[in-house]
Structure 1
Amino acid sequence: MCCRPQNTFVCIYCTICTLILIFFLSFIIFWIVISPSNLKFHVTDATLKQFNLITTNNTLYYNLKVNITVRNPNNNIIVYYRRITAIAWYKDNDFASITLTPFDQGHKNTTFLEAKFEGQSVIKLKAKQLGEYKQETSVGIYNDLAVDLDLRIRAKYGRFKSGRFDPPIVQCRRLRVPLVSNGNSAPPFSVTKCSTGSSFSDRNADAGA
């Protein structure tokens, strides 16, 4: 045994290590016992009023609004969203990001988010992607838009509240969004389920291991 009276430093070190080990084991057992369900994200609507790429200087002018529902399906977990960054993509090129208002979400609760992207950005499409863009423009429907949500959250179960952590990026991919212009109507948007990964784990944990 490492804790001997003649070696106070080693004894203190062993005690601290033991307490840390007990804490982490207790935390793991705690989450296994409550078995939290992953948070659920859906894009319920998307509106594209402008999506014009100037090929001479690779400048994209955009006006995109995306409505997202966030569902906490758990009976006994409160989720605190402390940072929400929405990132817009087109054919693997990110062209805009905005910060949404933080909020708290109770048990069995659904929250509605609205992300508005408007402005201009430089993107460089590959030859094949540029050809797809021109084809989609002629049809008036863009098939490869996406929105990611970069979150920082805390979770509370009873009186226990976790520290802040960054779960895996929420990926809302392959959005098929029609262009609405000059007051013309567009076909309805199909609700799209987003990929979440494990909502109550830190994506940086594996990287630091």
Structure 2
Amino acid sequence: MCCKNRCISYICCAIITLISVFIVSSIIFWIVISPSNVKFHVSEASLTQFNLTNNNSLYYSLKVNVTVRNPNNNIVVYYRGIKAIAWYKDNDFGWVNLTPFDQGHKNTTVLQVLFEGQSVLKLKPRQLGEYKEETSVGVYNDMAVDFDFRIRAKFGRFKSSRFDPPIVQCRRLSVPLISKAKSSPPFSVTKCRMDRSFFVDRHTEAA
């Protein structure tokens, strides 16, 4: 009986030791890799159509270019799912799925996104007043584009499983309406943000 208890004790100690070694190794590995967030900037944005009718039908054509910079020396990012969502004054109106791609070390990639079509957009009275003012000026404020990614990452020789990084939010965009009748001010490059590390699964983090 004593021998049996001793064996169980040894097994428990071995398991605890293995778990401890794994945790410490993971922490050391993460410190050594020390990943920097991928950088996102909206470099260009323009509208050729943004017409809201009296029955709340929005006809739109929005073009957005986003530069994606992987600043890391030892991390490769595999973008396996890319969904872009367009917003106007906190109302989503357009969705586009982009082609997957791989991004190597110290690499910059430009995503070209075209939102085009028709959707229902119900604005509050104050927002509708702002829309009419912006239409007269030819620049629409409070526009936004979000990116919902599903990725894998290669840290040195270790490749992760697929996970969902935080939503990349490109907010407070002032987008000019391109018209032959009049000129509009140029678009200002805007930095996008995320609320946590790009290399942490947002579902695990939230839990």
TM-score, normalization by structure 2:
0.88
Residues 11 and 54 (structure 1), Cα distance of their counterparts in 2 relative to 1, 3 Å cut: farther
Q: Which residue of 1 aligns with 2:204?
A: 205
Q: For residues 105-116 of structure 1, what are the structure 2 equivalents within 5 Å?
A: 105-116=103-114
Is contact 1:86–1:149 with CA below 8 Å preserved after alignment?
Answer: yes
Task: Report the equivalent of 2:131.
Answer: 133
Task: Give 1:42's aligned residue.
Answer: 41
Match status 1:27 vs 2:37: no
Letter in 1 for 2:29: F
1:75-105 deviation line (CA, Å, top 9, x unaligned):
1111111111100000000101111111111
Change (3 A) 1:18 1:110: same
1:5-20 alignment runs, 5 A limit: 5=4, 19=18
**Structure 2 residue ranges without an equivalent (≥5):** none
How far does the alpha carbon of each residue in 1:150-205 deviate from its partner, in whole angstroms, 9 at most, with x for none?
A: 01111112211111111110000011111112375432111000003311111101
Q: Which residue is 1:166 aligned to?
A: 164
Partner residue of 2:91 out of 93, 96, 105: 93
C-alpha distance in structure 1 between counterparts of 2:9 and 2:63, whole Å: 59
- 2:160 and 2:179 mapped to 1: Cα distance? 47
The aligned counterpart of 2:185 is 187
Amino acid at match of 2:191: K
Q: For residues 93 and 11 of structure 2, what CA distance do their matches in structure 1 show?
A: 53
Partner residue, 2:146: 148
Q: Which runs of 5+ in 1 are unaligned?
A: none
Name the CA distance, whole Å, in 1 between partners of 2:179 and 2:153.
Answer: 42
Distance in 2, Cα, partners of 1:138 & 1:171? 27
Report how many residues are paired: 204
**In 2, are the aligned partners of 1:59 and 1:122 still within 8 Å (CA)?**
yes
Normalising by structure 1, we get a TM-score of: 0.88
* Paired residues of 1:53 and 1:59 also in contact (CA < 8 A): yes
Segment drifting more, 79-88 vs 178-187? 178-187
